[in-house]
Amino acid sequence: MITDAATIRRMIDEHGRWWHEIELAPGIVTPGDDSNRMKLPILDRLGLPQSLAGLRALDIGCSDGYFTFELERRGATMTAIDFVPETHSGFATARAILGSRAEYLVENVYNLAPEKHGLFDVVLFLGVLYHLRKPLAALDAIRSVMKPGGLLFVGTMMIDEYFALPDGRVTSLDALNPLLRNVPLWQAYPGDSLNGDYTNCFAPNRRALEVALEEAQFRVDVLEVVSMGGYARASAVENPIAAKYQRLDARLEKTPLDPSVPYFLDEEGSVQTVTPRRR
């Protein structure tokens, strides 16, 4: 842990650009572009525990590590993942200054697996979902590394109050048709059509996020739409039917001719016997 204010300021300056605002010492805050410190009260309101003593937590897409270090401060044993080395973000600098023991892994959310990463009590999945080409596969992977009853906190762009029209204007789903609020919808963003960013892929409405979480074996405990985004707390549950079809989807992708994979036409009442016509 580094406590000398001059050294801390020098290290912050030497790193360069920051994404998160992190208070690394009293009155010394990294010059981040993100409003991460405004998001923490939302997570607290959704039920992020004040004490995480004795729990394992995972921060997916951790960037500079604001939420990683906050959960560690609350007592959690932390693992943080992102797709770049920790020196590419401010994570390494912040960890050195804070004296953090958080583990950092260069990893992709799709690769999460219990045999490799173990099981977690709390998972943060903030600002990542709408950047993914396969959002449901990501939720399946997250569920695979969570203990039953574990808490998942999701933050993502949502389209309930920010639906993009073809002419470039935005509106709300209610303004289009109030019935749409109960229809699971995802809006696609081709190319760099959203904010000139090729990494913006798909954004759900409230109902679509609920359905995606339920399909991935989560129970949605609370969900809030906040401006053009939203946050949810969901609990990991066991749903044998959802699990069956998740395995079916994943295994067919890897081994399409695996005879051990059930095929829906093999279910009772769905197989027909076809007798060839004689000529």
In this predicted structure, the answer to whether residue 257 has a pLDDT above a threshold of 60 is no
In sign, the C-alpha dihedral spanning 233, 156, 208, 84 is negative
> Domain of 200: which CATH number?
3.40.50.150
Q: Is residue 161 classed as helix, strand or coil in its secondary structure?
A: coil
- State the Rg of the chain over Cα: 22
Q: What is the pLDDT of residue 42?
A: 97
Q: What is the pLDDT of residue 30?
A: 96
Q: What is the pLDDT of residue 268?
A: 53
| Residue 260: pLDDT band with limits 50, 70, 90 | low
The answer as to whether 28 is a domain residue is: no
152 exposed, middle or buried (CB, 10 Å; 0-12, 13-18, 19+)? buried
- What's the structural domain count of the chain? 1
More confident residue, 227 or 143: 143
| Residue 36: pLDDT band with limits 50, 70, 90 | confident
Q: Which stretch of 13-22, 159-168, 268-277 has the lowest confidence by average pLDDT?
A: 268-277
- Residue that the structure tokens 């991460």 belong to: 36
Q: What is the pLDDT of residue 104?
A: 98
What pLDDT, in 10s, does the model give residues 183-196?
A: 999 999 999 998 89
The answer as to whether 267 is a domain residue is: no
The answer as to whether 12 is a domain residue is: no
Q: What is the pLDDT of residue 246?
A: 87
Helices (H), the chain: 5-15, 36-46, 66-73, 91-98, 114-117, 135-144, 173-176, 206-215, 240-254
Task: Determine what percent of the chain is predicted with pLDDT higher than 90.
Answer: 82
Q: Is residue 257 classed as helix, strand or coil in its secondary structure?
A: coil
Quote the distance between the C-alpha of residue 11 and its chain's center: 30
Tell me what the mean pLDDT of segment 5-16 comes to. 96
DSSP 45-104: HHT--S--TT-EEEEET-TT-HHHHHHHHTTPEEEEEESS-TTTSSHHHHHHHHT---EE
Q: What is the pLDDT of residue 7?
A: 97
| Residue 274: pLDDT band with limits 50, 70, 90 | low
Q: What is the C-alpha to C-alpha distance for residues 236 and 214, in angstroms, rounded to an integer?
A: 9
Residue type (1 letter), 161: E
Give the closest residue to 171 by CA, choosing from 159, 182, 179.
159
Angle made by CA atoms 107, 113, 115, in degrees to the nearest 5: 120
The answer as to whether 2 is a domain residue is: no
For 6, which DSSP code?
H
User: Which residues, including other chains, have CB under 8 Å from residue 147's CB and lie 6 or more apart?
Assistant: 119, 120, 121, 236
Q: What is the pLDDT of residue 33?
A: 87
In this predicted structure, the answer to whether residue 266 has a pLDDT above a threshold of 60 is no
Q: What is the pLDDT of residue 249?
A: 83
In this predicted structure, the answer to whether residue 70 has a pLDDT above a threshold of 70 is yes
What pLDDT, in 10s, does the model give residues 196-246?
A: 999 999 999 999 999 999 999 999 999 999 989 999 999 999 999 999 888
Task: Determine what percent of the chain is predicted with pLDDT higher than 70.
Answer: 90
Pairing of strands 218-226, 229-236: antiparallel
For 160, which DSSP code?
S
In this predicted structure, the answer to whether residue 251 has a pLDDT above a threshold of 80 is no
Q: What is the pLDDT of residue 253?
A: 58
| Residue 259: pLDDT band with limits 50, 70, 90 | low
The answer as to whether 211 is a domain residue is: yes
Q: What is the largest CA-CA distance in the chain?
A: 93
Angle made by CA atoms 148, 48, 96, in degrees to the nearest 5: 100
Helices (H), 163-203: 173-176
For residue 64, what are the domain limits? 38-257
Q: What is the pLDDT of residue 226?
A: 92
| Residue 250: pLDDT band with limits 50, 70, 90 | confident
